[in-house]
Every structure is written in structure tokens, then in C-alpha cells.
Structure 1
């Protein structure tokens, strides 16, 4: 079955004229005539009656027109949907991030400029976020300390610094200049799990200067670390971009080398040119 022939027949059936059908399809009138003649000859069925004033459908043509109207009506709907997506009037964006603090302002900017877009956000740790991007469960991802790799486009977003998190009444809480990393040697601490980027950066920096804190608890979320510190179970560590207002705790800068994390926006290289993904990168700070 030749869809060009069906499209020509459908246009004539809708317009009632070969001339108007040709204009509708942006092709010549002889081309429309040729397509329909080929369709009728191939299936040995008369579809149109040509009169002096107009084109009329035969009984078989009327039945076929009902089918082609449905077929090409759906095609037109598909084209409208895709065109709206291309112009960012609608569409769905899948986003993954290893924390909410950087990604939320980006989503707000995207929604302000393109209110028809729906965003689905999945939050996880660094490994889960990268895995979601590589498996195409996410269109874009906000990542921390990701090494360059083939097939992934990365754009720098910002940097953050590891801070100590202490109870509000702790002697360090009022130290604006912060503390030296060596002051954490043999200090009781409550830390994220070893797979956390914050934890990994902190451990690597401690190892370089032979600082060995006493880890009392390992916790699977920054919220749990905050609660443990507020309960005075120990000193925690937190990224400077993740510090939330909480009168029970204070974030104190840690002075030392190797305590900075790089945050990046990533997508698969082969999808970088897609309009919606382009829009995210254009709006990134």
C-alpha cells in the first residue's frame, strides 16, 4: 500500500477538488491525478467520479475516505504534538540529581520560560544519578565530581566546599573563619555513608594529612546527619550548597586542601542537540 497515493486520495476527498488537493499537499495537480489513478488501477476499484464541476466519491471511495480521514487525522495530531514539543510548548523532561539544591532553581527557570513543560525529578546518590543518565531514565542530570567519559556531555555548574556541621551551642559554632582540618583528628563524628560524594571528598582530604576522626554513625541522608548533630551525637560534614536554615545546628568552614567539589550538568552526547535538552543547558547558571 502506497501512503503517498492514500494521502492524495484523502486530500481530494476532503477538498472535493484536484486543484485544492494539490495546494493542500504542496504538489502539482498532475501528481495528485497520477497518485489516485495508480491507486485505482492497482486495486481495480473506482474511487472518484469526475464531473464537469466537481469530484464526487463513489460508494467505495466514501468508505475509504472515512478510513483515510481517521488515519491522516491521527498523523496530523502526531505532527501537532511533535511540533509543540519542538517549540517547547509542551513535553516532558526527565531530570536526575544527586541533591535538590542546584536543580530546583534550574527547574524553576525552565518552568517560568516554558510553562507547558512537565518535569519529573528523581533524586538519588551520585551513583544512582549517573546510572539513571547512562540508562536513559533521565534526559539531563546534575552530578558531582564526575570524571569525563565518552558519550557524555558535561557542563560545569558551580563548586561547593565541605563544612563541619556542629550543634548551635558548640564552641566552634561562632568561628566565622572556620576550623583547620587537623582539628577534626580523633573527634567523634556522624557522617554520610562511604558511597556519598561528600563523605568520599572528606575522607580523601583526611587521608592526605593523616587526620583520623572517630566515626560514631554512618547515615544514608543529609537530613539524618543534621538530626544526629542536633542531638549532639557528634560533628557532621555537609556541602556548603546543602546548608539549610536550622537553628539547632551551624555550618562551619573547614580550612584545608581537597575539600572542594565540582558540580556539573550532564546529558548523553548524542542527545545534546534535542531542543528541550538544549533549553536546560541554556538556562543553567
Structure 2
């Protein structure tokens, strides 16, 4: 088997794109296409379904990807083992995060300590971040409210709480110190998309109080939410650490249970031994006092 062809196929499945696979492998997009085509023609099989918008593995492709992911993870481990006597002066870290406000300070510390490591950051909502982690498209992820399971290494990074974001001229600003969820009845509510942790946490808290609050407008990013609130379109829900320093908006704490989310640094077993992953865990451990630096496996069950 031609490993160059297999690596090109593996990269396309990880990235979901021939273009991004080429960037990952530092070769041209036609070269990636040629490698995958040669692999399919040699074995007279179809491994990928191509469309104008996306590339997806066939059933056979998914089975092959499960093997190739393990194969190249082992190759990276072997390379890492051979480099253990050297300082971490080079390398690449693929990282996904559902909170830019939490991940950016960690990236700054990582860059300060290991300036030779190239970092590729993917930002998305919690579902997208989990998909990147579970699909082995990244080495590790900063993700919120992830359930523990065997084969997953978790480091807690703390918790954040939801608050209400309002236009600066709203009557509550300067008059109220905190609000209960039921006081939001009658307000024009702006919400994030269904895959957003912000929305899921808020709706879960409302459900616990048997409170139904429907969104008047749905927006697919926190930046869009902030701009919509600043424009006076309504009020919205945001994590306290995400409130911008913007005179057009103000924030009020929300009272009640179930309005917090816990944040974790997570990686799969197959990546926990990589030096660059261990280095990032060490950086995160330094940022969060009292936590162990290296990832530790969860107990069975």
C-alpha cells in the first residue's frame, strides 16, 4: 500500500475538504486529489463522496479512516518518542474551542513558552467542537459541559455563568442589580443557534422552572448577538466572561439554578501521549492553580 496515498485520504476525511487537507499536509490540492484518486483506482473502490459543498467518506471509507487515524496517530507517537531528548522547538498543534475568551490566554502562554510550535485553532459552537474532537480532526479541544467517558482525558478549567445582555438605554440598566428568569417574560429575546451551549444551558434552566421563553430572533454567533442587542433589537443571554467592553450594551446577572457551565480541556487516549499535547496541558495547569499538569485517564465505568 502507498502510504502517501493513504495519508492524503486520511487528511481529507479529517478535514472534510481537499483544500484543507492540502494545507494540513503542506502539499498542493491537485496532489491530494491525485493521491486519493490513485488509491481508489488501485483497489477499484469508492472511498469518498464528493459534492460542491463537502466531501464525505463512503461506508468503506469510514472503515478505512478508523484504521488510518490509528495508524498515523501511532506514527506521530513514534516520531514524538524519538524526539524526547530534544526541546519542543517545533511541531504542530490542532486545537478546537467553543470559547475564544477561555482559549486565547492559553494560546498566548503556549506561544510564549513554545514559540516554534505552529497552532491551528478552530472556533465553533460546542457541537462543532465536540465533532472535531471525536472525529480526530484536532489533537485536543477546549469544550464545555462534556460528559466524562472512558478513553477521554479531561482537565477542568473552571465554570462560567449566564447573564442578560441589554442595550445600554434599557430601563433596567442602573436600576436593577440582578434578574430572575421569569422577569424576562415580555422582553424581545434574541437567541443563539440550537447547537450553542449558551442556548442549551438557558433552555435547560428555563425548563427546570417550567418557564417557556421563545426567541424572537435566532443568530448564529455571539458577535451577531452583541451587535443585535447594541442596535436595540432586543435582549439576549451571554456568558459573563463574553460581555464586551462596549458602551452600547450592559449586562445584568441572572438569579437561579442551572445557569452555569463547566469548561474542560479534553483529548482522546490516542493523542494524550503526544509531547505537544502534554505541553498544552502543562500550560493549562499553570493557568489553573491546583490542577495536575498532565492528562490523567478517567476510571472505567
| TM-score of the pair, normalised by structure 2 | 0.65
Distance in structure 2 (CA, Å) of the matches to 1:258 and 1:86: 47
* Other-structure match for 1:131: 131
1:99 Cα offset (Å): 2.1
1:275 Cα offset (Å): 1.4
Cα displacement string for residues 79-115 of structure 1 (whole angstroms, at most 9, x for unaligned residues): 8996289621111111100121111110110110111
SS of 1:204's equivalent in the other structure is helix
Cα distance, 1:98–1:85 mapped onto 2, change above 3 Å: farther
1:176 Cα offset (Å): 6.4
Distance in structure 1 (CA, Å) of the matches to 2:97 and 2:79: 32
* Other-structure match for 2:145: 145
* Other-structure match for 2:182: 182
SS of 1:280's equivalent in the other structure is helix
Cα displacement string for residues 205-232 of structure 1 (whole angstroms, at most 9, x for unaligned residues): 1112132224210110011111111111
* Other-structure match for 1:90: 90
Quick check: 1:156–1:264 contact (8 Å CA) kept in 2?
yes
Matched positions, count = 208
* Other-structure match for 1:268: 268
Q: CA RMSD in A?
A: 2.1
Runs of 4+ in structure 1 deviating by more than 6 angstroms, as ranges, are: 78-81
* Other-structure match for 2:229: 229
* Other-structure match for 2:10: none
Cα distance, 1:79–1:261 mapped onto 2, change above 3 Å: closer
Cα displacement string for residues 147-190 of structure 1 (whole angstroms, at most 9, x for unaligned residues): 11222111100100011000001122225631112211232201
Distance in structure 1 (CA, Å) of the matches to 2:243 and 2:257: 20
SS of 2:201's equivalent in the other structure is helix
* Other-structure match for 2:24: none
Distance in structure 2 (CA, Å) of the matches to 1:85 and 1:259: 47
Quick check: 1:271–1:277 contact (8 Å CA) kept in 2?
yes
Cα displacement string for residues 215-257 of structure 1 (whole angstroms, at most 9, x for unaligned residues): 2101100111111111111110001121121111112110111
Quick check: 1:188–1:213 contact (8 Å CA) kept in 2?
no
Distance in structure 1 (CA, Å) of the matches to 2:219 and 2:99: 16
Cα distance, 1:86–1:253 mapped onto 2, change above 3 Å: farther
* Other-structure match for 2:115: 115
Structure 2, unaligned stretches of length 5 or more? 1-77, 289-301
Distance in structure 2 (CA, Å) of the matches to 1:283 and 1:176: 39
Cα distance, 1:212–1:248 mapped onto 2, change above 3 Å: same
SS of 2:215's equivalent in the other structure is strand
* Other-structure match for 1:282: 282
Distance in structure 1 (CA, Å) of the matches to 2:211 and 2:175: 20
SS of 2:173's equivalent in the other structure is helix
Structure 1, unaligned stretches of length 5 or more? 1-77
* Other-structure match for 2:239: 239
Quick check: 1:133–1:267 contact (8 Å CA) kept in 2?
yes
SS of 2:115's equivalent in the other structure is coil
Distance in structure 2 (CA, Å) of the matches to 1:79 and 1:273: 11
Distance in structure 2 (CA, Å) of the matches to 1:81 and 1:204: 45
